[in-house]
């Protein structure tokens, strides 16, 4: 159903913003965009336990912004360019909305739908 598709899309946006709502995680994203890094290297940068950093990486992974790939005994954390680009586009859309350039888009996602009690 359309409602579920929308709900899924919204949930995905939720996860992306949620993932970015933590300074450590934003920093991790920056770092792995610079270069793939294993979890230990990442963990060494922050004043918290290895397991805590592991959890942050898991949150980012769930949001789709990063992914891990194995290399021997280590897991290399790297950016998922498609997802990051999706996030970027999403931010673009908010920017457009906020700038008020979306007079036409108002007709599309304006009054009609957003209201539905579907959550």
Partner DNA sequence: CAGATTCACAACCATTTGGTTGCATATTAA
Partner DNA sequence: TTAATATGCAACCAAATGGTTGTGAATCTG
Query: Quick one: CA torsion of 79, 81, 85, 88, rounded to 10 degrees?
Result: 20
From the list DNA, its own copies, none, pick the one residue 40 interacts with, judged by a Cβ distance below 5 to 8 Å according to partner type. DNA
Least distance between its own copies and beta carbon 51 (Å):
16
Tell me if 20 contacts DNA by CB under 7 A: no
Tell me if 52 contacts DNA by CB under 7 A: yes
Q: H or E element: which one contains 49?
A: none
CA distance 88 to 80: 12
| Angle, vertex CA 100, rays to CA 64 and CA 83, nearest 5 | 10
59, 65, 66, 87: which one binds DNA (CB under 7 A): 59
The nearer residue to DNA, 14 or 95, going by C-beta atoms, is: 14
Least distance between its own copies and beta carbon 71 (Å):
8
Size of the site for its own copies (CB under 8 A): 49
Least distance between DNA and beta carbon 18 (Å):
6
* Alpha carbon separation from 65 to 2, 18, 98 (Å, rounded): 25, 11, 24
**DSSP assignment letter at 56:** H
Q: Which among 3-11, 39-47, 82-90, 102-110 is the span making contact with DNA, rule CB under 7 A?
A: 39-47
């Amino acid at each position: 159903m359309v409602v579920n598709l929308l709900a899924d899309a919204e949930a995905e946006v939720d996860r992306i913003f949620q993932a970015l709502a933590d300074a450590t995680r934003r920093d991790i994203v920056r770092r792995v965009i610079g270069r793939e890094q294993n979890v230990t290297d990442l963990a060494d940068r922050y004043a918290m336990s290895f397991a805590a950093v592991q959890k942050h990486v898991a949150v980012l992974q769930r949001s789709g912004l990063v992914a891990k790939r194995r290399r021997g005994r280590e897991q290399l954390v790297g950016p998922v360019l498609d997802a990051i680009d999706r996030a970027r586009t999403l931010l673009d859309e908010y920017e457009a909305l906020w700038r008020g350039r979306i007079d036409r888009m108002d007709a599309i996602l304006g009054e009609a739908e957003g209201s539905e009690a579907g959550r």
